[in-house]
Amino acid sequence: MQILHIRPEPPGGIGNTIARFDVALSDDVRVFGLRITERAAGGYSVYSPNARGTRVVTFSPAMVQEIARAALAALEELKPHDRIAA
């Protein structure tokens, strides 16, 4: 799994969204436009974009944890100027 691109959510964004990102789940599968949020009860959620009001992709709880860890690690790696430009 590899985070291809991550963009911190600007202040005033949607709810508790931390960032939006694109991920390569394998060499064969890439998912674009995901959103990571922090849950009030702790932990994280990962959401795919909608198409005609329906989620395009869903993930098992274990996969959500793996994707969230990768996304948060990629977010931490951003340089200060990357965070401002995003």
Q: How many CA atoms lie within 13 A of 4 on its CB side?
A: 12
Q: What is the pLDDT of residues 4-24, one digit of tens each?
A: 999 998 887 677 899 999 999
Q: How many beta carbons lie within 10 A of that of residue 35, not counting itself?
A: 19
Provide the whole-model pTM: 0.83
- pLDDT score of 78: 75
- Contact indicator for 46, 64 with CB cutoff of 8 Å: yes
Q: What is the pLDDT of residues 25-75, one digit of tens each?
A: 999 999 999 999 999 888 999 999 999 999 899 999 999 999 999 999 999
- Contact indicator for 35, 47 with CB cutoff of 8 Å: yes
At residue 84, does pLDDT exceed 50? no
